[in-house]
């Protein structure tokens, strides 16, 4: 699609669509980003409308994340996956991969068997484990026994044809526990670990003590870079865009010219990625809950028109940032976390207050 900005026109392609298919969850995590989401299930019609808009706007491949709430609580969970498979297969695009995020408490072998039967290509089951100590994990999630259930789920996935992942939310207390989490993954044969600091969205906005300070964020990024060669058989990653402020070419993009004004890296919220809430509202990402358009009762063309003409999307694509993020040499490569800026400064275009380079 073409985004008409003030200084340039940008051609952008959607690469990842996240569906928050339900706002319901069986846990009450301290950091819950979906705490304020509609506690309802997304309809198949809503999913279809989004797919009819999004798939044609992909370049050649598209990927999906299925989340919640707890997505396995949706009564039509498998119907949604089958619809995604059908829509992509009937297009000229390819399904790159799908990630299902879950707390693990509802995973059974039957569920994993059915996921294998659907054959969504490369399918990742991402299980949230926030500490290697059971009672600390359980307390963070306000759900006794959640650690044991997550480990049981992990063992089931490890013994399947699907790809197991661990997702760890890093708070100020867990900053020194990252290596232990990697060791846990290694012990269970998990080859992919995603680490993410708490973002001040949803319930996390009520407790600033969960948010890493700029110096702690720098330590967090440095620790990941130190652990990568120590565990060469495990993919250790973070989606935090400020990672590019340290050894930028150590990360995902390889050789690139991030001084080019058309280059877009780092925070891709609303640019190549988008999020869909259970009520059909499209937001830039699951953390930046700025409403772009609600798809209810709209055609795919009407959704496209609203999305491509959105001032929020234009600002994100053009990187109309403020403060330190605007003058930073990594503006096009990183861009700071827009959800963190919104959560802490009530301004999604402000500088990222957790980045040490902005201080």
First to last CA, the chain: 36
Can you give the CATH number for the domain in which 66 is found?
Answer: 3.20.20.70
How many domains, the chain?
1
Decide if 156 is inside a domain.
Answer: yes
Q: Is residue 145 part of a domain?
A: yes
In a domain, 182, yes or no: yes
Packing angle of the helix pair 44-54, 300-308 (nearest 10 deg): 60
Does a structural domain hold residue 349? no
What span, in angstroms and rounded, lies between the C-alpha atoms of 344 and 261? Answer: 27
- Does any domain span residue 350? no
Give domain status of residue 332, yes or no: no
Residue 335 included in any domain: no
What's the domain range around 312?
Answer: 2-321
What b/e string do you get for 17-35 counting C-beta neighbours within 10 Å, with b at 16 or more?
A: bbbbbbbbbebebbbbbbb
CA 140/CA 176 separation, integer angstroms:
16
Residue-wise burial string across 211-221, b where 16 or more C-beta atoms lie within 10 A, e elsewhere: bbebebbbbbb
Prediction pTM value: 0.94
Please enumerate in sequence order all residues whose Cβ is within 8 A of that of 348, keeping only pairs 6 or more positions apart, or say none.
Answer: 288, 290, 312, 315, 338, 339, 341, 342
Q: Give 308: exposed, middle or buried? Use CB within 10 Å, 0-12, 13-18, 19+.
A: middle
CA 62 to chain centroid, in Å, comes to: 15
- CA distances from residue 180 to 39, 139, 173 in whole angstroms, order as listed: 35, 18, 13
Q: In this structure, are residues 73 and 22 in contact, taking their beta carbons and an 8 Å threshold?
A: yes
Whether 326 is covered by a domain: the verdict is no
Per-residue pLDDT of the chain (359 residues), as tens digits, is 998 877 788 899 999 999 999 999 998 887 877 767 668 999 999 999 999 999 999 999 999 999 999 999 999 999 999 999 999 999 989 999 999 999 999 999 999 999 999 988 899 999 999 999 999 999 989 899 999 999 999 999 999 999 999 999 999 888 889 999 999 999 999 999 999 999 988 777 778 888 999 999 999 999 999 999 999 999 999 999 999 888 776 776 666 677 777 778 889 999 999 999 999 999 999 999 999 999 999 999 999 999 999 999 999 999 999 999 999 988 988 999 999 999 999 999 999 999 998 77
């Amino acid at each position: 699609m073409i985004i008409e900005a003030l200084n340039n026109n940008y051609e952008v392609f959607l690469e990842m669509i996240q569906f928050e298919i339900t706002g319901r969850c069986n846990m009450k995590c301290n950091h819950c980003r979906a705490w304020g989401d509609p506690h309802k299930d997304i309809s198949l019609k809503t999913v279809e409308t989004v797919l009819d808009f999004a798939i044609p706007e992909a370049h050649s491949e598209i990927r999906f994340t299925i989340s919640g709430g707890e997505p396995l609580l949706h009564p039509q969970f498998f119907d949604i996956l089958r619809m995604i498979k059908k829509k992509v297969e009937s297009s000229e695009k390819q399904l790159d991969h799908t990630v299902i995020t879950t707390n693990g408490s509802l995973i059974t072998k039957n569920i994993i068997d059915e996921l294998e039967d659907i054959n969504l290509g490369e399918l990742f089951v991402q299980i949230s484990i926030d500490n290697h100590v059971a009672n600390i994990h359980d307390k963070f999630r306000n759900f006794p026994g959640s650690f044991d259930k997550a480990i049981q789920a992990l063992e089931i996935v490890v013994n399947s044809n699907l790809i197991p992942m661990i997702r760890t939310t890093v708070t100020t207390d867990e900053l020194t526990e990252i290596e232990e989490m990697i060791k846990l993954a290694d012990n269970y044969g998990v080859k992919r670990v995603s680490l993410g600091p708490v973002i001040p969205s949803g319930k996390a906005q009520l407790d600033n003590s969960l948010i890493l300070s700029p110096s702690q964020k720098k330590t967090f990024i440095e620790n990941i870079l130190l652990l990568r060669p120590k565990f060469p058989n495990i993919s250790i990653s973070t989606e935090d865009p400020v990672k590019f402020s340290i050894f930028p070419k150590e990360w995902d993009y390889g050789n690139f010219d991030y001084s080019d004004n058309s280059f877009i890296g780092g925070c891709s919220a609303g640019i190549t990625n988008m999020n869909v809430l259970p009520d059909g509202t499209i937001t830039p990402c699951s953390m930046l809950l700025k409403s772009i358009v609600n798809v209810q009762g709209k055609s795919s063309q009407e959704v496209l028109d609203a999305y491509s003409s959105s001032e929020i999307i234009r600002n994100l694509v053009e990187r109309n940032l403020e403060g330190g993020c605007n003058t930073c040499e990594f503006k096009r490569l990183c861009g700071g976390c827009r959800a963190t800026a919104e959560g802490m400064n009530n301004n999604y275009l402000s500088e990222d207050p957790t980045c040490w380079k902005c201080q």
